[in-house]
Amino acid sequence: MVQESRFRLLRDDGRGLTLVLAPSAAIEPQDLPPLTHRRVLVDWRDAPGLTGGTAHRVELLD
C-alpha cells in the first residue's frame, strides 16, 4: 500500500510495518507505487511519536 510518502511494508515474517519516506532518501514518493508487490530492502528507523518508522533507503531486490 502506498499513499504519498507513506507506505506499508509486508515483512518476511508476515507482519506489516508502516513507514514514511525520509526527505533525505534517494527515492521519491512517485517511485514507490511501481515497487508494490516487489521484494525490497528497506533501511529504516523508529520514528518517535509515530506508529511506524522512517525509511531512509529503499532498494529493489528482484
Distance CA 47, CA 38 (A): 24
Structural domains of the chain sorted by starting position, each given as residue range(s) with its CATH number in brackets: 2-60 (2.40.50)
Residue that is written with C-alpha cell 518517535 in the block: 48
Q: Measure CA 43 to chain center.
A: 8
Q: Which stretch of DSSP H or E encloses residue 10?
A: strand 6-10
pLDDT digits (tens, 9 = 90+) for 6-55: 999 999 999 999 999 999 999 999 999 999 999 999 999 998 877 789 99
Q: Position 61: which residue type?
A: L
Residue that is written with C-alpha cell 525490497 in the block: 40
Q: What is the pTM of this model?
A: 0.85
